[in-house]
Chain A
């Protein structure tokens, strides 16, 4: 089955700096890679996703890059703000698998004002 590894487990940045979170996956058939943000005690919410036919996707301060050859993808947050503080999860799935996703263990991002 799929195995997703996420690094780092914790990340602390100063407000205004950039944050990068990286994930690797093992199943070369995986072709959909979402990122979720989970604030303390709340539900995970999708913030951005990328499909395997695209190398990069951007939405305002958030971007995701995908390297299919190396089987890794990354989340980039620029101009971080204190409200970006949360746990971020990456996931991988393939379209023949009923939407099942394998999640990374999460990264706790702290943005210091």
Chain B
């Protein structure tokens, strides 16, 4: 069966520090991968998605970047964190084109001080 791992679960970082969040999927090949941010009490904002290795699409202009160095690995990064980067970050995967549900990781709660 397919599983998704996301880490760390929580992270406290100072303003201006770098960021690296990692997500890996097991049990499937060539998944679509996604990074979402969820502000407190709000919905899911799609940040990046990827349909294959090295293919990244950005949905909103921001201080973050994403990379997909391997088929089942998706990384969210920043060179310098801002206070506004605080939030709950979720990685997700799906297979094929639409008509398929997305499966979410457990999320990373990021607090910027």
Contacts and interface: CB of A to CB of B under 8 A. Distances in A.
Contacts of B7: none
Interface SS, A side = loop
Interface residues of B, number: 26
B104 A99 contact: no
B105 A43 contact: yes
A99 B32 contact: yes
30 contacts: A31-B99, A32-B98, A32-B99, A32-B100, A34-B102, A42-B107, A43-B105, A43-B106, A43-B107, A44-B104, A49-B101, A51-B99, A89-B43, A89-B44, A94-B98, A95-B98, A95-B99, A96-B98, A97-B98, A98-B51, A99-B94, A99-B97, A99-B100, A100-B34, A100-B49, A101-B46, A102-B46, A105-B43, A106-B42, A108-B41
Interface of B: 32, 34, 41-46, 49, 51, 57, 90, 94-107
